[in-house]
Amino acid sequence: METTKKRRVDKEQIAEVCQECIQRTKISHNPKRSFFHPRLKNLNRIEIHRSKTHGGIFQRFALHCVEFYEGLVRLSHKVHRFIFPRRNKIYGQPSPHHLVTGHLTFGRRKEDADSPVFNMHVELWARTIWGGYRKLSEGKSDRNGQFSLPYNLFYVHRLYIARVWLAVYQTDHEHFNKLGQHSPTFRDFKRIKISKGDLVGIEYCCRQVQLSYWEYRKDTPLPRVVIRDHDKDAPDEYSPGYNETLEKQFIPIELIKLRHIEMIRMNQGLTYEQIVEDYPENLTVCMEKKIPGITRGDDWFGERMMNGMYACDFDRDPKNPNLYWVHHHWGSYEKTYHHYAMPDVDMWFELKDNGLPRPVKITLTGPLTAKEKDQKQKRTFTPGDGEKWLAAKRICRVSAGLYAELAHHFAGTHVNTEQFAIACFRNLRLNPISGLLKSFLRSVVLVNHTADRILIGKGYITTACALTPKGIDQVVYNVMGTLDWKGYRPMQPISAAHTYAKACNLYWDIVFDFVSGFIDDPINRGSILEQWFEIYCFSEDLVNHSVPAFLCHYLQNALLDGNGKMKGNGSTDWYQHHHRMDLNDERPEIDGIKRAVSKITDKKNGHEVTDEDISQLKQACTYMIYQATFGHTWSNSKQYDDIGEVLYCSLGLRFGNGPDGVMGPESDHSIAPDLTRSTQMMWWSNMLSRTGYGFIMANEDGDVPPELRKNLEKHRQEFADLNIDIDIIQSRTNI
């Protein structure tokens, strides 16, 4: 009786302290930057060790000069546009007998050169000797990428026409005006100079115009875009407001990291406690200050595994349906065991009366000390194991943190969104679906490009855990092989307290309603069907560049029968299948390999489209928007809460110097990441959670469809009941 009462008090206390700390540690999205702070040009300048900031007086002065110059250039462009407006008027009467022709393809040289760029807006322009612009013709490329622009030969050869060029335009920014109407803007993507003397009538052919336009990388099996120079020729760009906000948010954090790195270098006695103290207080630190030990308890552990950044997949244990089972498998990926422990993790939970999970058993498979070599050794821990149980939970937190970072965050949202972004920007131009999707798919390729350098590959994760760069690639590759839009629904709540799953489902339904409304709108529907070929090519690009479908050996044996179909008779009921790939569905096959992503349609023309195609389009669009916005927001913004205290959770644990190896207590700092990795870890979690720009409700760039914002606003309270502030849901994957 006494125990029950105490436990009830504990639960209430946890909820109360948690709420209080959530409010206290809420990130301000309007930070002030000191005049004396160093400057940061954009996200791509950040580095794990020492970001490319401009701190010295001369550097900052120089940067101010550069910015002043850039401002002048922008001003001069504005003045230039004012003096020499580009009127939307065709000069001279175009003759159908005099044409400028050519065909647009993707790629450079022979790579991708046979893929036509269709529906691309092209214009023929001339400039007069006094600087005026004269539009001579306009048109768009056809399905084969061919364009044909009629022009007036005699107008071109007027004495005052000085220069002639062909301009290929790309969609610049999507905007929605106050009436909610979509109004995209276009900007020059490529100019092809044409000698005026070469225009002699009949047909002037520009031949194949290769556009280095959202090219697929050939050096990775993942669907990634080519970015040769982030600042010069990237296919996308950040909004100016984004860079400004990022600079304000980021510089104070960077300064802390730099101070720590300097202290480590000078051996000035930096401690873990000081590292945690120096960075802004996060949720777990705040809670620990109020009630020590509260965040190391089983209740908090279960709650965060269910509703925290980790948001684990709670499958029922096939052997004991009363328990829920979470498994993190690291054994198949390339690792080095010199410093870091990385056992496979199995956690079993039971549901408490309030619907939250409580851990009952943890099994770790693999070496736990530096001396052990046996990769298969299993050790099971239960709450009765005292300190060992605490250590096992810590390993689980770290494993879940890394899994959430790599699988949910990087692969599940960043790379996953990128594959849709590339296919979308390559193919959707005139179709209204372009306006629906592009605002949500912006920026992701730029962030991923930066992440390639600082997070994966030889970036932070490799130095902070046992995974090698190849191992990380394997994880991402396999996770991508499990992701498909078809049949996807967010995770189903396993209890009333599963707020993460509830929020996901609520958001999904809102997005689905919005997407359905958009596609079912008669005006949009007509245009969607008219430009259905774009959807077809979008789907083809998506499938052709998708990674092979993947299902681990365990699930293959547990879920599939001899024909590769799901077993029947309820033998697979333990498996949560809604948010996972539909194993009953036939995978599309390219070059004899079954691909992860399903086709949206196989119809090329609007008149062939069926209701099923339309519903698949709705499902795919909902999936893209969901992953790019809420899916990413969850795994990204919660990092500050769940991996913002080094000793509580990091992305890797060392074997340590103690006899128990990684199973030693938190006080053994030889287990925690070293000081450099620790401050970098804190820097990471703070930096990623503090974007401060690109929110759906704030709609800073005016590119979020107003209908979606209205729908979200209607459900503000429902989200609030699930501890979600809709104001922090990002409108794009931009960090």
Partner 1 sequence: MKSNRIPIFNSIRTAVNRFVGLIFLWLSTKAFTWLLTIFGSIIARKKMSHNNGIAASGSIRFVDNPGFPLHPFFEPGKTMPCRVRHAAASFMDDAMRVVRSMSIKMADTNYKSPMDIELNTGETALFWSVASFFRFAKYKKTRFGMQYEEYYRKYPTGVKGAQVGMRRNPTSFSNLTYYSQTPFLYKAEDNVMRYIKYRTVPSEPVPESGILDDYDMKIPSENQRILPGETRSRNYLKDEYVERLREGPVKYKLQVQLHQASDDDDAEIFNCCRKWDEASHPWMDLAEITMNKPLDWAESTKMIFSMKNLPKGLGIIPSFSIYDYNSLNFLRKHSDLARYARVWAIRIFGMPPEIPDSDVRNC
User: In the complex, which residues of this chain contact partner 1 (CB under 8 A)?
Assistant: 97, 101, 153-154, 157, 197-198, 200-205, 207
Residue 164 C-beta: closest distance to partner 1, Å: 13
Pick the closest to residue 395 from 283, 296, 282 (CA basis). Answer: 296
Task: Give the list of residues 6+ apart from residue 443 with CB closer than 8 angstroms, or none.
Answer: 236, 238, 242, 694, 732, 733, 734
CB-CB neighbours of 50 under 10 Å: 12
Between 195 and 667, CB nearer to partner 1:
195
Residue 536 C-beta: closest distance to partner 1, Å: 29
Residue 158 C-beta: closest distance to partner 1, Å: 10
Residues 147 and 118: their CA atoms lie apart, in Å, by 9
Between 141 and 243, CB nearer to partner 1:
141
Task: Give the list of residues 6+ apart from residue 659 with CB closer than 8 angstroms, or none.
Answer: 369
Structure tokens given for 397: 């937190």
Between 204 and 410, CB nearer to partner 1:
204
Residues 514 and 94: their CA atoms lie apart, in Å, by 43
What is the DSSP code string of 60-77?
A: HHHHHHHHHHHHHHHHHH
Residues 642 and 459: their CA atoms lie apart, in Å, by 21
Between 157 and 486, CB nearer to partner 1:
157
Between 166 and 362, CB nearer to partner 1:
166
Beta bridge partners of 362: 347, 381
Structure tokens given for 626: 């969901």
Provide the strand spans (E) within 200-267: 203-211
- Give the end-to-end CA distance of the chain in Å, rounded to a whole number: 49
Between 68 and 154, CB nearer to partner 1:
154
- CB of 133 closer than 8 Å to CB of 89: no
Structure tokens given for 368: 């736990």
Residue 145 C-beta: closest distance to partner 1, Å: 16
> Which 3 state secondary structure label does DSSP give 404?
helix
Between 93 and 336, CB nearer to partner 1:
93
Residue 112 C-beta: closest distance to partner 1, Å: 21
Residues 65 and 69: their CA atoms lie apart, in Å, by 6
Between 197 and 570, CB nearer to partner 1:
197
Between 6 and 163, CB nearer to partner 1:
163
Residue 245 C-beta: closest distance to partner 1, Å: 49
Q: How do 315-316 and 324-328 pair as beta strands?
A: antiparallel
* DSSP run (H or E) holding 686: helix 675-689
Between 101 and 369, CB nearer to partner 1:
101
Between 197 and 384, CB nearer to partner 1:
197
Residues 172 and 175: their CA atoms lie apart, in Å, by 10
Residue 192 C-beta: closest distance to partner 1, Å: 12
Residue 43 C-beta: closest distance to partner 1, Å: 43
Residue 159 C-beta: closest distance to partner 1, Å: 9
Between 96 and 269, CB nearer to partner 1:
96
- The half-sphere exposure of 682 on its side-chain side, counting CA atoms within 13 A, is 34
> Which 3 state secondary structure label does DSSP give 160?
coil
Residues 523 and 447: their CA atoms lie apart, in Å, by 35
Residue 100 C-beta: closest distance to partner 1, Å: 10
* DSSP run (H or E) holding 395: helix 387-403
Residues 585 and 358: their CA atoms lie apart, in Å, by 35
Residue 98 C-beta: closest distance to partner 1, Å: 9
Distances (CA, A) of 152 to 2, 125, 324: 94, 12, 74
Residue 153 C-beta: closest distance to partner 1, Å: 6
